[in-house]
Amino acid sequence: MSRTIIGAILGFVIGGLFFGSGFKFIGAILGAMIGRSYDKRARSLGSSESIARIHQAFFKATFQTMGAVAKADGQVTKEDIKHAEDIFSRFNLSPEQRQRAISYFNNGKQLDFSLEECLTEFIQNCPSRNLHRTFIQILLQTAYVDGVLHTAEEQLIVHIASLLRISEFELRSLEALVAAQFRRQQYQRAGGYQQQKAKATADELATAYQILGADKDTSNHELKKIYRKLMSQHHPDKLASQGLPEEMIKVATEKTKEITWAYDLIKESRGIK
């Protein structure tokens, strides 16, 4: 029974006992107000504890599984380690968080590391489907450090996605998104944006459709619905409210940028205003 109801009952009884029957209802109102304030504090505490638990579970599973993916092809290369270091820096981790991340990453590389146990704990503490998608995206970025999703890495990520009940279609859409991010980053480093053509190339359009999980036969109306759905699923504010650690919000922001890029590119190619 909530403290609001308990407070109202006690206020009703005490008001009648000490101040007469005329004060029963006043006591009930005052008791309910006091009880409600306790309810709010309890909910707030529970929410903050829940978010903290989700943060910790997401953080731990992310870096443990990153280590497992890095080791998937049999060895952890200098490039893999550099990418992990880049991710540590990109997340703006504190010295203490950085040490924990490195420890989790190294744990995930061990032969006795249990991926199933790690993901079972992750799912129990992070039930949000949107967080699962962001989790997979981070793993894909880890695997895609050299621009190629190697067979062993792909097989492991497919297995992880199946444990998280992420469909093959969703996984391939996320893969396309990560591949597009990598290509666009490479293009930007080469100064390509200054010389970018007015019209999108066939490869760019194909990538844009893959990111949205659509194709050239998708109607304009359906395309807009897909775009809105994806933006809702991956919006940084929504993910933050569901427990995505603050250090990883940048990943979600990058994702929405790529989704917007893809949608704008397709709209331009179709002459949609």
Q: What is the pLDDT of residue 65?
A: 93
Classify 189 as helix, strand or coil: helix
Most distant CA pair in the chain: distance in Å?
85
Least confident of 169-178, 186-195, 207-216, 258-267: 186-195
pTM, full prediction: 0.65
Instruction: Over range 169-179, report the average pLDDT.
Output: 84
> Is a pLDDT exceeding 80 seen at residue 96?
yes
> Is a pLDDT exceeding 90 seen at residue 166?
yes
Q: Are 227 and 208 in contact (CB under 8 A)?
A: no
159 DSSP 8-state letter: H
CA–CA dist 253, 266 (Å, integer):
20
Q: Between the CA of residue 147 and those of 161, 185, 233, what are the distances in Å? A: 20, 11, 26
Compute the chain's Rg from CA coordinates. Answer: 25
Q: Are 67 and 104 in contact (CB under 8 A)?
A: yes
Pull the structure tokens for residue 114: 């249990």
Tell me which residue has tokens 């505490």: 45
CA–CA dist 264, 273 (Å, integer):
10
Tell me which residue has tokens 């203490």: 96
> Is a pLDDT exceeding 90 seen at residue 119?
yes
> Is a pLDDT exceeding 70 seen at residue 108?
yes
CA–CA dist 141, 6 (Å, integer):
52
Q: What is the pLDDT of residue 200?
A: 67
Q: What is the pLDDT of residue 49?
A: 66
Q: What is the pLDDT of residue 18?
A: 39
Q: Are 7 and 33 in contact (CB under 8 A)?
A: yes
CA–CA dist 119, 124 (Å, integer):
8
Classify 24 as helix, strand or coil: helix
